[in-house]
Amino acid sequence: MLTSKFSCCLVAHLAILLGLLLLGTCKGQNWSSFQTKHIDFPKSSASNPNAYCDLMMKRRNLNPTRCKPRNTFVHASQSEIQNVCSSKGTHYKDNLYDSEEDFPLTDCKNVGGTSPDNCKYIGTPGTKRIRVACENNKPVHFELVLATL
């Protein structure tokens, strides 16, 4: 009785774990997709921050079926950003890490338009700390832009 209860529980837990793993994979949370979505270094040129966002969201194909409501591009090298997961980051909770240093970045917020190629954005440039989720010491998810201390 006890054994079957235990194995049932174990199976349930394994199923949940597998589900979470699949979910993670489906959402494309890996270092490679993080770079596509969130790293633009050196920063691509555009006439202004709004035009920059319109261009980059299209160039990186981030609006395949709908205009992504929000996306942040960080203008720093892969290694600098990767270091947030280790020597240059502070553990926040779970697998989330906060950068110790500010990064130049552009925050893009959708204000209409049509996917895939004509989504309209308001771009806000800034230099801020960032919070990312890490797996195997590499960022796989951009959580948010932190207010500067």
Ligand X SMILES: *[C@@H]1O[C@H](CO)[C@@H](O)[C@H](O)[C@H]1NC(C)=O
What 8-state DSSP symbol labels residue 148? Answer: P
From 5-13, 26-34, 115-123, 127-135, give the range in contact with ligand X by CB under 6 A. 26-34
Radius of gyration of the chain (CA): 19
What 8-state DSSP symbol labels residue 87? Answer: T
Residue 28 contacts ligand X per CB under 6 A: yes
**Which of the following is catalytic: 13, 38, 75, 91?**
38
**Which of the following is catalytic: 13, 75, 91, 141?**
141
The strand ranges marked E within 1-117 are 70-74, 89-93, 96-99, 103-114
From 28-36, 77-85, 112-120, 130-138, give the range in contact with ligand X by CB under 6 A. 28-36
Q: Which of 30, 50, 124, 137 touches ligand X (CB under 6 A)?
A: 30
Distance CA 94, CA 106 (A): 26
Residues that bind ligand X (CB under 6 A): 28, 30, 32-33
